[in-house]
Amino acid sequence: MTRVLLAAAAAAVFAAIAPAQVTHTVVTASGLAAPGGGTYSGFNTRGPSLNAFGQVAFFAAVSGGNSGVFRHTTTSGTAIVRNGTTSPTAGYTFEGFSTSNVVAPAINASGDVAFYGSVNDGTDSFGGVFRYTAGTGVTIALQGNAAPGGGTYGDEFGSDDVRLSNGGQVGFFVKVGGTDENPLYGVFRGNGTTTVVVARDGAAAPGGGNYAGVGSPATSSAGLVTLNSYLSTDQEGLFQSNGTATTVIARTGGSAPGGNTYNSPQPLPPAANASGQVAFHSTLSGANTAGVFRFNGTTTTAIALAGTPAPGSGLTFGNFSGTHVPQINASGQVAFHSYLDVGTTNQGVYRGDGTTLTAIAVTGMTAPGTTLPFDEMSFDSVRLNDQGRVAFRGRLLGASAATNRGLWAGTSMADLELIAREGDVFFVNGANRTLAEPSAFFELNDAGIAWRATFTDNTQAILYSTFTPVPEPATVFGLASVALALSAARRRWPG
């Protein structure tokens, strides 16, 4: 009897931590009604954005109506603005929203939405940055208006997604002067009332030299703005500003953990969590050639260094892609993509906290939900939630071109699970549709993943896919207790 009870307890604990069936919910799709009239016909490649409460924001094209910016849950939707809508600045109307928008709108925990957009005064078009809160919009910046630090905002807003804090602060990037051959850019933070300079090309940079190529920023809930910039001293640097003082995170020639020095701190833009901790990578000079790091406001910690063992692979970390953005969650865990050893054949996705490294997936392992091994992981599609769950887009070795890509998520190799794979069939808008491509751009919260699906009939959908919750520490303790009890029972019971 005791053996039966222990076995039942073990089964219950294992069931609690085993991957479960993923649940897909259609947020909206081609052919479904768009708030304000018409039907959706497509969604932009970058996006959707997702907040902690399952709200998504995206640009969409609309048939029989004006395209625009929308916010949805799984049960309802709202048009934030559409082409032809009057802008917050009197005398201008919005224009130009479509699926070709190359950046995504941002959404915060309150459901506020911020975005780069174009407006027209009846004669000319002007770029700008806008934020909407509970249906009310404010203009954060508008082309032609005075820019803090001198000059006016130019015609180039945003080379990457706009950044919005939970406090409503918007970090943005815009041209502020120069010539077509030698433009000057600036990074600013604004809330619709006050805008401050974070960094401008030509201004003095902490540590020496001038900014000479500022990049798109990250903005924390506390209003800290982090950016990368080239410098007039032929160096690069990562900096963080509270709007008054600026701190050097890393710059070429500076000391790095492990007895190294930084060569090229990246990426553009950096990743920061709500408290302003920053994840980044850099090529190095010294014992290691590259590394992934975390900055907590005062101290920089090495998460992974090239040449050190990469768990789950039997290999060592190689290089960390220059275009990949490491992700950081609220507790300071960092998720990243790495090439392993020398070259680009072997790859892995990892999570670390400065003490422990966990392999999420490596090339060659059998991809969960399939019988085939991973061939690669997209280095620009790694996401991390506050539970430590990592999601990424991967490609399978030995599958046809029509079925070789998919989305996976997990806290380790042990509980990694398939979210969706090309060739999967989804019931969307009254019909079964076959997945042709899961977008490389998606967002992750503690409950699930919001992503854009493109189907073989050229229709699209925004899906919210929920997965097994990460087990609580008590569950893990329960598993260990059951294992010990079973071991003791085996010693007591013969045969």
Question: Does the pTM exceed 0.75?
Answer: yes
CB 327 within 8 A of CB 271: yes
- The sign of the dihedral angle between the CA atoms of 388, 381, 70, 93 is positive
Angle at 393 between CA 389 and CA 399, to 5 degrees: 130
Would you give the end-to-end CA distance of the chain in angstroms? 16
Residues 6+ apart with CB under 8 A from 297: 240, 247, 275, 276, 277
Residues of the chain with pLDDT under 70: 1-20, 102, 159, 321-323, 342-344, 468-495
Cα separation, 467 vs 444, in Å, equals 11
Task: For residue range 150-186, list pLDDT tens digits in order.
Answer: 999 998 887 677 889 999 999 999 999 998 889 999 9
Three-state DSSP state, 475 = helix
Q: Report the chain's C-alpha Rg in angstroms.
A: 24
DSSP letter assigned to residue 472? P
DSSP letter string over 251-284? ETTSEETTTEEEEEEEEEEEEE-TT--EEEEEEE
Cα separation, 221 vs 114, in Å, equals 14
Residues 6+ apart with CB under 8 A from 42: 30, 60, 61, 99, 460
Give 178's strand partners. Answer: 183
Residues 6+ apart with CB under 8 A from 95: 83, 84, 118, 119, 120, 125
Question: For 39, phi and psi rounded to 5 degrees?
Answer: -125, 150
Closest among 148, 143, 121, 116 to 131, alpha carbons compared: 116
Task: For residue range 234-269, list pLDDT tens digits in order.
Answer: 999 999 999 999 999 999 999 999 999 999 998 777
Cα separation, 337 vs 380, in Å, equals 8
Residues 6+ apart with CB under 8 A from 209: 231, 232, 233, 235
Burial class (CB in 10 A: 0-12, 13-18, 19+), 491: exposed
CB 137 within 8 A of CB 191: no
CB 415 within 8 A of CB 16: no
CB 231 within 8 A of CB 223: no
Q: Tokens representing 213?
A: 């190529």
Residue 357: its pLDDT value, please? Answer: 98
Three-state DSSP state, 382 = coil
DSSP letter string over 99-148? TT-SS--EE-TT--EEEEEEEE-SS-EEEEEEEEETTEEEEEEETTSBPT
Q: Tokens representing 244?
A: 């008054």
DSSP letter assigned to residue 167? T
Cα separation, 494 vs 488, in Å, equals 12
- By residue count, the chain amounts to 495
Residue 493: its pLDDT value, please? Answer: 38
